[in-house]
Structure 1
């Protein structure tokens, strides 16, 4: 019966052909094009001058680029803790037998991730606003008006202030992923552990975490990939300022390519972002696998 309704390989190939072509055209073609242009001194237009590896030599020496990479790594660390960590805690709370209206919690938790990143950026810019922002309004309300600041002009705070909207927006996204993983765990395991006297913290650490390890690895990979190419929120909120305090790699590549019209060097920055993102993702996966294996051996 199954063989009669299973489509032929030729039909499957035709179904997959268009999505594969779209994927190749939208992902690999731009990447190869950027790689090609990165070997040229190109200001836009028809004239290009081949300069070999000079763009990459300049990139290695570019302090602003490495400062931007450091800001991306700050966002990665903050969002792994804030997005995935808080999502895990919230899922455990929602999954508790004492929690009511679980469907509503899931819906409202996921809602911010459906909003445009540009809209989120504008909303939080208004929250941080010096004259009309909620933070300064609250400080004045409690008699701390002297502590009011132009928050996004504080170089030491700006990366934290940018990370908060990112964390807030995508907690619900990771909640859905983790919730689906926890829902697949046999409930008898939790019942037996509860009979044996394990408390909620022990069940979370010694039962839930090992059983959803692969799902958490996927979440970490998605989080790193997303924050290594962060752009929208930062463009709306600070445009990389004050100075280069909130500059990230994608923003730097955008400014070099379009503000300075240096397309060749901007292409080299794009390839640098791709390579560094790949290194960080693979490194994090190896580290998590090593720590997991070491824990299992212990």
Structure 2
């Protein structure tokens, strides 16, 4: 039984297809992650492979993570459940970071293989976190599809890079509704929000993704946060533009404002240009 299959076309594009046996919608398991990892290694090591498209054989891309995986990580660790959970999550991060870096030289950021995600329908949880690690996300023009990170609805944060990649991609303020409210969008709204890159006719989905892969340049597969000079959209916590997002927002308890922080003031000595300090709360 396999969750992912691998095919290599004459054009040099490897297609990794997600199709969990016996499920109406794909869900990720530890075994599935291991298969995906092996297929990525195969594609990166094969000189005949020019790039990769990750897609689904089902009408949707994925419904998220199999929640039993989290329980199994804890149970399999015996007396150290926290360590088991940590190790399992870090394994996932390792696979997704491998996709993100795609074999490129870590110093020159060149020589990697472009990897695109082609989403035929709904992509939730890990079903969005996996595409976020890819270099370009294509979605079929399917108004019934939902794209988002709904984990907060069951009391957990996105654990496979969604919190970090989406915040770095959109900025903390814009990413907040998707991370803290579990907001879900149809493909066109997801593109307008910046979650995905392109919405294409369903019949053109795979062809458009393959075409991009075959024409991508080195610079096209370097994530903004890996490029020199990257700055988080909206500002980082101790930058004036980002202060109100990370530190100075109103604190709400039972619907009442508990304190509003004024804009930051420059710390002394003045020579410390990069440092900003909050004023005393009013």
Task: Bin the TM-score by the shorter chain.
Answer: under 0.3
Q: TM-score, normalised by structure 2?
A: 0.25
| Structure with higher helix content | 1
Q: Which has the larger radius of gyration?
A: 1
Higher relative contact order (CA 8 A, sep 6+): 1
Q: TM-score, normalised by structure 1?
A: 0.24
